[in-house]
Amino acid sequence: MKIVSWNCNGAFRRKFAYLAQFEADVLIIQECEDPSQSKDVNYKDWAINYIWLGNTKNRGLGVFAKDGAVLEHLKFDQSFEDTQLKWFIPFRYNDNIEFVAVWTQKSDSGYFRYIGQFYKFIMNNLDRISNQIFIGDFNSNKIWDYKRSEGDHSSCVNFLKNKGIVSLYHELLKENQGEEQQPTFYLYRNLSKAYHIDYAFLPEPLLAGASIFIGDHKEWLEISDHMPIVFEIPPLPLTPRRATQT
């Protein structure tokens, strides 16, 4: 099974064709338009099997699968103060693997933003996290831990590790958190402002036979400030705790 996560930096209706080369089973796309509200006929015809969430019709988080695949939107607790945590799409693929698509955002409170939103998602769903794949744009790295007194990047990584869920990139390349050699994001598309903020966290049984690839800035930087992350996992059956459908 092949999965791609990519923050397309908007205007996905003009960019989805770039991902055809990967022949992915599932695409996790940040900053994409809502196909149901798009006026682009080609985009609407392409997006035949998807789940989408967002504040505006032009920028949200989307999960796209091939025609015939079963995407089941799952109900997890995403409440935070008087708002919703942003953005997370828990879903089950073909009734045997659970994912949580991620695009962390700022928050109205100003404190629990970006990785803080993920931390709150974890805390809300402690009893449900088991064997899910967490993938997307986390807008976070260990190098910024000092900015937080609660719920920093490392605490989230350690929590997932205690659940047997680890970062595929770091496990396969044997690099430490915060010392990544391959950036996934270039601030202002500047090569001197390179960061690793996109991740795929997998249950440890899926590591055997898994692979990961990060797009090269020479190919992708003109298209987006984020590089796609592409990973493959073996078709091992997982039986996560079943959550209620929304």
Helix (H) or strand (E) holding 225: none
CATH 3.40.50.1220 applies to domain 2-232: no
Distances in Å between the Cα of 232 and the Cα atoms of 4, 208, 217 are 9, 11, 21
Q: What is the pLDDT of residues 95-132, one digit of tens each?
A: 889 999 999 998 876 678 899 999 999 999 999 999 99
Q: What does the pLDDT read at residue 234?
A: 86
Q: What is the pLDDT of residues 4-43, one digit of tens each?
A: 999 999 999 999 999 999 999 999 999 999 999 999 999 9
pLDDT band at 235 (very low <50, low <70, confident <90, very high): confident
